[in-house]
């Protein structure tokens, strides 16, 4: 409601709340058809499945099913696609929690606490928390979408290359915060991610970097092939080393319970904060869910109370990442619907679908097609509610995967990773990339290097480099452009403060570990 | 015994598979046909999915569209043409990889090396400036300002060395205007940064303009088509400029002409051509193409050499505009 | 087996090799293309070079830390050679699968790959091996080909199942 009040103070017409309620009631009429309801529910199931499968994610789900959707009535079609987006953004956490394999890059940060929580025998709880956080995060993102879209869109349009550069640097600092073990190893892994994102055609000079004459490398490595390789292949290799491959695992499958909702709601501060971060990053075109989940996790970890062991199965870790990446979906729809500028690749496809269906997103759509705008708001809100229902009911089914003997599970997962990764670009080369990164993943894990920073590095790399160079091209006075613009200057100050804090903490940590090591060394020598 | 039974079953299943493979040669198409699209997910891809869906319906099969971005579309074209010449792979032949990149020396093919199916769609661009611009009121005044203040203006053509860049560079060269191009990977962000006055002028496509027509001011439509002028609310076109850029017809526009490997059997190619022509003539396809802001094209394969050849000749003759811009920018450093 | 120190040194060696490749490419390929110098518009080397230098600095730090830790070489959890062998064989089978996938196609390559991995896992019941490998390969193909319209590799013999 505060958005409505502040809205009246801007150029928006007074009585905006009433207008929004008109949208919603017009949308409700269109949405409450068996077809739209049914397809929204079906979209959630499809989304959860494509999200949980390593390789495919919400984007591929939308691409693969867009031809089906464009033959449907508009709200039903958008319901189907948006539900795939919502379900897919959550589905990746299921495989992350159960198998230590993020189904999508979005779930990479969920590994930190989701998997350890499941290892403590609380797999059902972990999935329940992930799903509930996703749904509530999504709903909070939805509230922002419904009530604050124009304001947030205006805020986002003030983000130009200098601001993106500073945000990317802030994102990189998250690596330091989330690296539980060695900060240097975390930074090394993150920098490695930054470096591999430079492979391919440089969009500024149009030169080719590190392609070694291969046309397959002209667009660099596909992020999904890298993620699946790093996590899934290395995990399967680790599993092969165990000796219980033929046994039927004795895993208790807890009954689906509404108690996970109360477990999640206990972290209400974290929930609201992470959803706010997620919505914000979603609303800035080009940032996206991975950055928001990592950032939320870093903030949650930094704000953790003593006793909350982040990285060892803290519920709050799952709450932070999952509420963030699903609220990002709501955030992404803000520029997509109100400006016609897609927030990420998935919403770019949604935008295409909307155009094919005959609607031009932008301020005019809010005036000319309130029923469609309202309908999209409704399907988005309903998707998140359906996600909660379907997700909690299906949790035992997902957890059942843990009962499958590894002799079947390992080859099935390898195959699933292969087909899922192949489906992205119909490319066997992507599979070879997957295997190569699998070997790197094995080496990193063996040497105790965290893998998740590689993912965030790879996502942030192009944002950082392109916006830094873009800023310098736009600037007429070099690096001063970062201080000339108020938002950018504020972010510079924040980044400097963060840097100082991190250097201090690192030195403190290194001192204590080396002291500890020396003490240990001396005691063994004795 | 149990094992032999299983073995029999497996062999039987194998036999069915191989049998189906042989019948595949008899009737085309027997399985899904892939369309390789040279750009990332977005409007253009959704557009290709519309055409592919209609064409698939005409052929009685599914036609998934695969996005394979990279190196201005040359990665996708190399990949598509490297697949077997059996008609099961079609390339969504955008002007950038098909004509422009060979001219720039980044690809070793010629548009004549491929078999065309049919023209698909075109999309017009325009040069837009900021609303409330005080320094100039039209394109020619902006050029005059630019000439006086060399290297002062910042613009974006989206990617560097793409078709809008070439056309804009040619226009700037004609007026002796040197401005700094700022590459972007997403057209939406170009529009955003133009409307928030970070850029002085930029290329915009119909889609972004229609969403927010009052956020930018269209200075020049890079097309001579009446439909493009209308799409950009009647702004002046390159035909109305005082200078001749040497561009006409599809020359300054983005377009795609679907092509297949030159070794594709003739009967297969004919089947595909017939299906694509029928698809492009369908009213639902025309409506969807127009809805997304593109122009449906109705040329069949017989017009390929003439139309694409015309564009090739025009772009070839203006190829030095990009080199001129680079040289002038270096002088200012 | 390998000590944590050896593994750490191998990882450092790998990252060192990565930065060597970066500098080597900048000095050769980048220079040939003319993208190793100039302003932000033309210089594609500045950013990878900066990251490579940063990695180099971190490597030195890590090496110093390793040398402190060196005295307290701790053995990682003892893993039998046979356990390592299984993982190695799985990776080898998977690598061979990827190599032959384009040539012989999904439908001929997949079931043997699954069968081989299950064998490595210790399953010796031949009928079970045959049935489950064919079932897994076919059911996954069905989901992707029939529902999601993915065209799996057909191989040179164009083997496919018309669902």
Out of C52, C58, C86, the one facing A241 most closely (by C-beta) is C86
* Average confidence score pLDDT of chain B: 88
| Same domain (yes/no): A489, A394 | no
In a domain, A6, yes or no: no
In a domain, B13, yes or no: no
| Same domain (yes/no): A283, A336 | yes
Percent share of chain A, pLDDT over 70:
92
Q: Is C149 left (phi over 0), alpha (psi -120 to 50) or beta?
A: left
In a domain, A425, yes or no: yes
Interval B190-232: pLDDT, tens:
999 999 999 999 999 998 898 889 999 999 999 888 888 989 9
| Same domain (yes/no): B106, B239 | no
| Same domain (yes/no): A462, A495 | no
| Same domain (yes/no): A386, A509 | no
Alpha-helix residue ranges (DSSP H) falling in chain C: 4-25, 31-33, 46-69, 81-104, 106-121, 126-142
Are the Cβ atoms of C159 and B34 closer than 8 angstroms? no
Q: A297 is written with which tokens?
A: 């996790």
Other Cβ atoms within 10 Å of A120 Cβ, number: 12
| Same domain (yes/no): C113, C66 | no
In a domain, C160, yes or no: no
What gap in Å lies between CA A205 and CA C42, rounded to an integer? Answer: 5
Out of A215, A285, A470, the one facing B188 most closely (by C-beta) is A285
In a domain, A16, yes or no: no
Give me the domain span that covers residue C57: 4-72
Residues from chain A that touch B213, judged by Cβ atoms under 8 A, are 364
In a domain, B79, yes or no: yes
Interval B29-52: pLDDT, tens:
989 999 999 998 888 999 999 999
Q: Does B26 touch chain C (CB under 8 A)?
A: no
In a domain, C29, yes or no: yes
What gap in Å lies between CA A155 and CA A158, rounded to an integer? Answer: 5
Taking residues A161-171, report their average pLDDT.
91
Are the Cβ atoms of A411 and C133 closer than 8 angstroms? yes
In a domain, A14, yes or no: no
| Same domain (yes/no): B197, B115 | no
Are the Cβ atoms of C102 and A428 closer than 8 angstroms? yes
- Shortest Cα distance from B12 to chain C (angstroms)? 12
In a domain, C115, yes or no: yes
In a domain, C58, yes or no: yes
Out of B6, B86, B330, the one facing C130 most closely (by C-beta) is B6
Out of A209, A245, A520, the one facing C44 most closely (by C-beta) is A209
Are the Cβ atoms of B207 and A358 closer than 8 angstroms? no
Give me the domain span that covers residue A489: 485-526
In a domain, A13, yes or no: no
A11 — pLDDT class (breaks 50, 70, 90): very low
In a domain, B71, yes or no: yes
| Same domain (yes/no): B141, B259 | no
In a domain, B6, yes or no: no
Buried b / exposed e over A382-410, threshold 16 CB at 10 Å, is bbbebbbebbbebbeebbebbeebbbbbb
In a domain, B313, yes or no: no
Amino acid C70: pLDDT: 58
Q: In chain A, how many domains are there?
A: 2
Are the Cβ atoms of B49 and A346 closer than 8 angstroms? no
| Same domain (yes/no): A42, A86 | yes
Contact A181, A173 (CB under 8 A): no
Interval A467-493: pLDDT, tens:
999 999 999 889 999 999 999 999 999
Q: DSSP assignment of A229-244, as one string? A: IIIIIHHHHHHHTSS-
Q: Which of residues 77-136 of C touch B (CB under 8 A)?
A: 107, 126-127, 130-131, 134
Q: In chain C, how many domains are there?
A: 2
| Same domain (yes/no): A84, A166 | yes
Contact residues for A523 (Cβ-Cβ < 8 A; gap 6+): none
Residue A307 pLDDT > 50: yes
| Same domain (yes/no): B67, B102 | yes
| Same domain (yes/no): B202, B328 | yes
| Same domain (yes/no): A43, A25 | yes
Residue B260 pLDDT > 90: yes
User: Which own/partner contact pairs does B157-161 have at CB distance under 8 Å and 24+ positions apart?
Assistant: B157/B181, B157/B183, B157/B202, B157/B203, B158/B183, B158/B184, B158/B187, B158/B190, B158/B203, B159/A203, B159/B72, B159/B183, B159/B184, B159/B185, B160/A203, B160/A204, B160/A205, B160/A206, B161/A206, B161/B72, B161/B100, B161/B104, B161/B322
| Same domain (yes/no): A360, A490 | no
Are the Cβ atoms of A362 and B210 closer than 8 angstroms? yes
Q: Does B78 touch chain A (CB under 8 A)?
A: yes
Residues from chain C that touch B4, judged by Cβ atoms under 8 A, are none
Interval A341-385: pLDDT, tens:
888 889 989 988 988 888 888 877 887 888 888 999 999 999 999
Other Cβ atoms within 10 Å of B323 Cβ, number: 12
Looking at C33, C55, C72, the residue that finishes a domain is C72
| Same domain (yes/no): C63, C85 | no
| Same domain (yes/no): B170, B219 | yes
Residues from chain C that touch A444, judged by Cβ atoms under 8 A, are 11
Which residues in chain C come in under a pLDDT of 70?
1-3, 70-79
Alpha-helix residue ranges (DSSP H) falling in chain B: 2-26, 43-59, 74-82, 95, 101-103, 139-148, 163-174, 187-195, 206-211, 226-231, 266-281, 283-291, 304-317, 320-332
Q: Does B53 touch chain A (CB under 8 A)?
A: yes
CATH of the domain at B208: 3.40.190.10
In a domain, C142, yes or no: yes
Q: Which of residues 139-158 of B touch A (CB under 8 A)?
A: 152, 154
A115 — pLDDT class (breaks 50, 70, 90): very high
Are the Cβ atoms of B16 and C161 closer than 8 angstroms? yes
Interval A227-285: pLDDT, tens:
999 999 999 999 999 888 888 887 766 666 788 899 999 999 999 999 999 999 998 88
What gap in Å lies between CA B90 and CA B52, rounded to an integer? Answer: 10
Chain C residue closest in CA terms to A448 = C8
DSSP state letter for C3: B
In a domain, C40, yes or no: yes
In a domain, C157, yes or no: no
| Same domain (yes/no): A375, A509 | no
Amino acid A516: pLDDT: 60
In a domain, C27, yes or no: yes
Q: B217 is written with which tokens?
A: 């001011």
Give me the domain span that covers residue B160: 125-250+320-332
Out of A188, A410, A510, the one facing C117 most closely (by C-beta) is A410
Out of C127, C130, C160, the one facing B31 most closely (by C-beta) is C160
Q: In chain B, how many domains are there?
A: 2
In a domain, A337, yes or no: yes
| Same domain (yes/no): A123, A185 | yes
B4 — pLDDT class (breaks 50, 70, 90): very low
Interval B134-180: pLDDT, tens:
999 999 999 999 999 999 999 999 999 999 999 999 999 999 999 99
In a domain, B225, yes or no: yes
B8 — pLDDT class (breaks 50, 70, 90): very low
| Same domain (yes/no): B201, B175 | yes
A519 — pLDDT class (breaks 50, 70, 90): low
Taking residues A325-329, report their average pLDDT.
94
Residues from chain B that touch C130, judged by Cβ atoms under 8 A, are 3, 6-7, 10
Are the Cβ atoms of B181 and C159 closer than 8 angstroms? no
Interval B278-314: pLDDT, tens:
999 999 999 999 888 898 998 999 999 999 999 999 9
Amino acid B96: pLDDT: 93
Are the Cβ atoms of B49 and A358 closer than 8 angstroms? no
Taking residues A72-89, report their average pLDDT.
93
More confident residue, A339 or B176: B176
Q: B146 is written with which tokens?
A: 């630019």
A308 — pLDDT class (breaks 50, 70, 90): confident
| Same domain (yes/no): B73, B160 | no
Amino acid A17: pLDDT: 76
Tell how strand B125-130 and strand B201-205 pair up.
antiparallel
| Same domain (yes/no): A175, A303 | yes
Region of poorest pLDDT, from B88-102, B164-178, B240-254, C72-86: C72-86
């Amino acid at each position: 409601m505060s958005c409505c009040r502040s809205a009246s103070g801007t150029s928006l017409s007074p009585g905006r709340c009433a207008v929004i309620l008109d949208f919603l009631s017009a949308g409700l009429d269109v949405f409450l058809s068996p077809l739209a309801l049914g397809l929204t529910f079906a979209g959630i199931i499809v989304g959860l499945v494509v999200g949980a499968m390593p390789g495919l994610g919400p984007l591929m789900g939308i691409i693969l099913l867009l031809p089906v959707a464009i033959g449907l009535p508009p709200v039903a079609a958008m319901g189907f696609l948006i539900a795939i987006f919502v379900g897919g953004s959550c589905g990746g956490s299921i495989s992350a929690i159960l198998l230590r394999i993020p189904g999508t890059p979005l779930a990479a940060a969920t590994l930190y606490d989701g998997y350890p929580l499941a290892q403590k025998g609380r797999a059902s709880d972990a999935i329940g928390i992930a799903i509930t956080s996703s749904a509530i995060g999504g709903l909070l993102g939805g509230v922002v979408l419904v009530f604050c879209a124009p304001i947030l869109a205006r805020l986002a349009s003030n983000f130009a290359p200098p601001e993106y550069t500073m945000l990317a640097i802030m994102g990189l600092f998250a690596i330091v915060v989330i690296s539980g073990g060695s900060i240097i190893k975390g930074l090394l892994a993150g920098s490695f991610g930054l470096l591999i994102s430079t492979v391919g055609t440089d969009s500024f000079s149009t030169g080719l970097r590190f392609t070694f004459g291969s046309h397959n490398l002209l667009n660099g490595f596909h992020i999904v092939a890298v993620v699946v390789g790093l996590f899934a292949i290395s995990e399967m290799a680790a599993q092969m080393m165990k000796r219980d491959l033929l046994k039927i695992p004795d895993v208790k499958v807890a009954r689906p319970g509404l108690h996970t909702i109360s477990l999640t709601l206990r972290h209400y501060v974290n929930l609201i904060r992470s959803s706010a971060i997620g919505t914000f990053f979603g609303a800035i075109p080009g940032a996206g869910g991975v950055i928001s989940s990592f950032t939320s996790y870093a903030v949650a970890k930094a704000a953790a109370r003593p006793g909350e062991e982040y990285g060892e199965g803290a519920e709050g870790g799952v709450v932070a990442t999952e509420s963030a990446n699903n609220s990002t979906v709501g955030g992404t729809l803000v520029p997509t619907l109100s400006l016609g500028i897609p927030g990420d690749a998935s919403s770019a496809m949604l935008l295409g679908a909307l155009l094919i269906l005959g609607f031009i997103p932008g301020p005019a759509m809010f005036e000319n097609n309130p029923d469609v705008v309202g309908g999209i708001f409704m399907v988005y809100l309903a998707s998140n509610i359906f996600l909660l229902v379907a997700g909690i009911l299906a949790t035992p089914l997902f957890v059942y995967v843990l009962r499958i003997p590894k002799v079947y599970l390992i080859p099935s997962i390898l195959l699933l990773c292969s087909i899922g990764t192949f489906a992205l670009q119909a490319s066997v080369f992507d599979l070879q990339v997957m295997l190569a990164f699998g070997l790197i993943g094995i080496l990193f894990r063996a040497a105790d290097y965290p893998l998740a920073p590689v993912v965030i590095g790879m996502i942030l790399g192009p944002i950082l480099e392109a916006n830094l160079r873009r800023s310098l091209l736009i600037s007429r006075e070099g690096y001063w452009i970062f201080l000339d613009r108020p938002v950018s200057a504020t972010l510079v100050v924040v980044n400097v403060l963060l840097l100082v804090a991190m250097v201090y903490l690192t030195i403190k940590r290194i001192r204590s570990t080396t002291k500890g090591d020396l003490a240990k060394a001396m005691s063994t020598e004795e | 015994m149990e094992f032999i039974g299983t073995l029999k079953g497996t062999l039987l299943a194998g036999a069915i598979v191989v049998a189906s493979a042989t019948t595949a040669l008899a009737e085309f198409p027997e399985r899904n046909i892939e369309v390789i699209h040279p750009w990332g997910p977005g409007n253009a891809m959704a557009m290709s999915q519309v055409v592919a869906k209609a064409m698939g319906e005409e052929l009685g099969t599914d036609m998934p569209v695969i996005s394979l971005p990279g190196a201005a579309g040359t990665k996708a074209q190399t990949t598509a043409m490297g697949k077997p010449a059996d008609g099961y792979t079609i390339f969504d032949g955008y002007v950038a990889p098909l004509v422009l990149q060979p001219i720039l020396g980044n690809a070793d093919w010629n548009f004549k090396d491929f078999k065309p199916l049919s023209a698909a769609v075109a999309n017009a661009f325009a040069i837009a400036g900021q609303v409330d611009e005080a320094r100039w009121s039209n394109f020619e005044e902006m050029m005059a300002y630019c000439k006086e203040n060399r290297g002062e203006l910042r613009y974006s053509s989206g990617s560097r060395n793409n078709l809008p860049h070439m056309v804009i560079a040619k226009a700037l060269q004609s007026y002796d205007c040197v401005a700094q191009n700022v590459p972007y990977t997403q057209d939406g962000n170009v529009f955003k940064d133009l409307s928030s006055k970070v850029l002085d002028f930029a290329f915009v496509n119909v889609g972004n303009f229609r969403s927010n027509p009052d956020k930018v001011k269209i200075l020049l439509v890079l097309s001579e088509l009446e439909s493009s002028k209308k799409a950009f609310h009647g702004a002046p076109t390159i035909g109305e400029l005082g200078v001749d850029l040497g561009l006409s017809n599809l020359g300054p526009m983005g377009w795609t002409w679907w092509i297949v490997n030159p070794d594709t059997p003739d009967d297969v190619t004919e089947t595909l051509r017939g299906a694509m022509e029928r698809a492009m003539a369908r009213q639902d396809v025309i409506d969807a193409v127009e809805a997304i802001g593109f122009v449906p094209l109705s040329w069949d394969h017989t017009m390929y050499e003439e139309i694409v050849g015309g564009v090739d000749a025009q772009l070839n003759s203006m190829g030095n505009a990009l080199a001129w811009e680079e040289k002038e920018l270096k002088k200012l450093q | 087996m390998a000590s944590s120190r050896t593994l750490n040194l191998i990882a450092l060696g790998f990252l060192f090799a990565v930065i060597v490749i970066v500098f080597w490419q900048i000095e050769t390929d980048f220079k040939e293309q003319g993208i190793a110098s100039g302003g932000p518009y033309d210089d594609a080397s500045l950013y990878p070079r900066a990251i490579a230098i940063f990695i180099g600095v971190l490597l030195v730090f890590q090496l110093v830390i390793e040398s402190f830790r060196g005295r307290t070489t701790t053995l990682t959890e003892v893993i039998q050679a046979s356990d390592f062998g299984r993982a190695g064989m799985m990776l080898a089978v998977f690598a061979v699968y990827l190599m032959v996938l384009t040539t012989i196609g999904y439908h001929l390559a997949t079931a043997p790959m699954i069968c081989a991995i299950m064998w490595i896992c210790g399953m010796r019941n031949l009928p079970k091996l045959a049935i489950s490998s064919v079932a897994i390969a076919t059911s996954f193909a069905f989901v992707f080909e029939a529902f999601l319209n993915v065209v799996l590799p057909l191989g040179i013999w164009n083997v496919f199942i018309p669902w």
